[in-house]
Structure 1
Amino acid sequence: MTFFYVILAAIFAVFLVNFMKRQSEPAKLERYPNEFRKYHAETLDLHATEIVSEALIEKLNKALDIDYMEKVNTEFRLKHPRDSQIRVNQAWRELKRYLIMAAVFGKVEMFNSVIDELWHIMLDYGQEYNEFCQTFIGRAIQHHPHSQPVFKPEERTLFDFYYIQLFTVDSPSIQKWGKFFKHDKGLTFLRDFETMELEQLKEKYMRKPTSAQAERTFECFTSQFKENRPLKELNWQKNYNQTDYAAPAYFTYASTDDFDSEFKDIFGKEPTAVSSESGHAVHGGDHNSSHDSSSDSSSSCSSCSSCSS
């Protein structure tokens, strides 16, 4: 008899939970769009560096229609109701940074399952997504699927190499992507950008075709390795503390034999733990939300690389 009451109580509990979910969804459908509009201005600020063309950022923000973003945002929050809009805006920022990289460079892999999920929801609205891509760079940013997450340390190192030069590295960056250059310091890429001519670099690394704004960003990116590198290495710690710009630290880090020491907050190997949500490894950061943890540092998510074709 006791067992019968336990089963009955369990059934009632499931019914009550489902009932409460159904009752609260209309309220969420009203609250989430309001919160998105309230904090929308935050998603317009990518905290970029001087390398990224302001015109490219403006074009990205203009291409991402607010009504389109609101629909995607609402669907994402319904799937992740524990995440506040402010926390979701961190995912928006990193997705937009990823889209900047996809506009500037050739194939760029995705290394965070949550940001990839936000991108997938964008793709579900096919017409809006195509209009976004056409307005942004005049060509579709394609998804190329893998059936399972694929171990790609070289592609992850290239991702880090791009990211460190283009954007600031703050706490949300490391929460989403984990530390940078865990497997390799990117010396092969560094030598290419130091020694190859601009047209050779464009042929090997730049997305083709792309927008004029993205091409200017690529050209500015290459200058960091020729004209400005000696200056960038000076006072890297002060520079990073004041601006969150980690490129000067990277140049110094690349010239040392140490993977940790004074660079341990930004670069280098770190302990891993298994994430319950995706099976990827989780690296440090604030785990109040499971969606702040990064995917395995060298595992590209399923169905998540962009391509210039």
Structure 2
Amino acid sequence: MVYFYVILSAIFAVFLVKFVKGLSEPAKLERYQNEFRKYHAETLDLHATEIVSEALIEKLNNALDPNYMETVNAEFRLKHPRDSQIKVNQVWRELKRYLIMALVFGKVEMFNSVIDELWHIMLKYGQEYEEFCQAFIGRTIQHHPHSAPVFKPEERTLFDFYYVQLFKVDSHSIQKWGKFFKHDKGQTLLRDFETLELEQLKEKYMRKPTSIQAERTFESFTAQFKENRPMTELNWRKTYEQTDYAAPAYFTYASTDDFDSEFKDIFGNEPNTVSSGSAHADHGGHNSSHDSSSDSSSSCSSCSSCSS
């Protein structure tokens, strides 16, 4: 009889928890919606470098309907109730940066599972997602899971090469993606962008087809690279600390023999143990970071997307 009452109490406790959760969820949703509206403006600034076309950023922001974002945001926060809206906005920023990269370049992996989770929630709302894709890229960005995580250090190096030149690298960037150039300094990429002509680079690295705004960004990226690459920045740390612009630091780092030393805050940490996966857009995937908004892998891909 005692066991019967114990089991009955346990069942009652489970139902009570579910009941209280059911009562509190509408209140949480209302709070999440209000907080999203309050801090929505923060998601509009991607903190990009001058390479990224303002028209491209505007196109992305216009394509993402605030009501759609609010719905996706509320569902994401229900899954991550301990994260504030300010912290979730950091996830939005990195997802939007990733989408910019996926529109400009032909192969971009996604290296963070939580950022990819936000993307998956966007996919759940089929009509809204389709409208977003059409407004932003003119075709659907499809997303397919792989059967198992795939270790992709070369793709991670490619991701890093693009990222540190397109966007400011702050503490949130490193928290989400981990430190950059874990496996390789990207010497092959450096040589290609040093020696190939613009049309050759477009053929090899630019996404096709793409928008005019994205093509202009690729051209700006290439021109800025050819201008910056020959220089070694003696004051790279001062530049980085004052502006979060990491490209001068990267070019200096790529010219050294060390993988860490004075660059350890940004580049060249020891590779993490591969343990879980990621995703990719148009041609890419997702990976790791060092906080609650990432998995613990460093360069593996478990799902992918392509446009059609």
TM-score (norm 1): 0.90
**Given the alignment of the two structures, is residue 299 of structure 1 paired with residue 300 of structure 2, yes or no?**
yes
Question: C-alpha separation between the residues in 2 aligned to 1:175 and 1:9?
Answer: 43
Shift of 1:257: 1.1
Question: C-alpha separation between the residues in 2 aligned to 1:244 and 1:2?
Answer: 64
User: Relative to 1, partners in 2 of residues 1:237 and 1:199: Cα closer, same or farther, differing over 3 Å?
Assistant: same
Specify the alignment match of 1:67 in structure 2. 67
Shift of 1:275: 8.0
**Given the alignment of the two structures, is residue 193 of structure 1 paired with residue 197 of structure 2, yes or no?**
no
Counterpart mapping for 1:60-209 below 5 A = 60-209=60-209
Shift of 1:272: 4.2
SS of the aligned residue for 2:269 comes to coil
Specify the alignment match of 1:45 in structure 2. 45
Q: Determine if contact 1:167/1:245 at 8 Å carries over to the other structure.
A: yes
Q: Determine if contact 1:106/1:307 at 8 Å carries over to the other structure.
A: no
Question: C-alpha separation between the residues in 1 aligned to 2:31 and 2:153?
Answer: 41
SS of the aligned residue for 2:141 comes to coil
Specify the alignment match of 2:215 in structure 1. 215
Question: C-alpha separation between the residues in 2 aligned to 1:283 and 1:135?
Answer: 30
SS of the aligned residue for 1:143 comes to strand
Q: Determine if contact 1:273/1:283 at 8 Å carries over to the other structure.
A: no
Q: For each residue in 1:159-178, what CA deviation from the matched residue of structure 2 results, as whole angstroms up to 9, or x when unmatched?
A: 11111110011111111111
Question: C-alpha separation between the residues in 2 aligned to 1:225 and 1:82?
Answer: 41
SS of the aligned residue for 1:146 comes to strand
Q: Determine if contact 1:274/1:282 at 8 Å carries over to the other structure.
A: no
User: Relative to 1, partners in 2 of residues 1:11 and 1:207: Cα closer, same or farther, differing over 3 Å?
Assistant: same
Q: Determine if contact 1:275/1:281 at 8 Å carries over to the other structure.
A: no
Shift of 1:77: 1.2
- Aligned residue pair count: 301
Q: Determine if contact 1:53/1:213 at 8 Å carries over to the other structure.
A: yes
CA RMSD across the alignment? 2.4
Question: C-alpha separation between the residues in 2 aligned to 1:92 and 1:26?
Answer: 23
Shift of 1:308: 5.4
Percent sequence identity over matched residues? Answer: 84
Counterpart mapping for 1:13-52 below 5 A = 13-52=13-52
Shift of 1:145: 2.7
SS of the aligned residue for 2:45 comes to coil
Shift of 1:273: 7.2
Between 138-147 and 36-45, the greater mean CA deviation after superposition: 138-147
Q: Partner letter of residue 112 of structure 1? A: N
Q: Partner letter of residue 84 of structure 2? A: S
Shift of 1:107: 2.4
**Given the alignment of the two structures, is residue 241 of structure 1 paired with residue 241 of structure 2, yes or no?**
yes
SS of the aligned residue for 1:230 comes to coil
Between 140-149 and 3-12, the greater mean CA deviation after superposition: 3-12
Shift of 1:136: 1.2
- Unaligned runs of at least 5 residues, structure 1: none
TM-score (norm 2): 0.90
- Unaligned runs of at least 5 residues, structure 2: 279-285
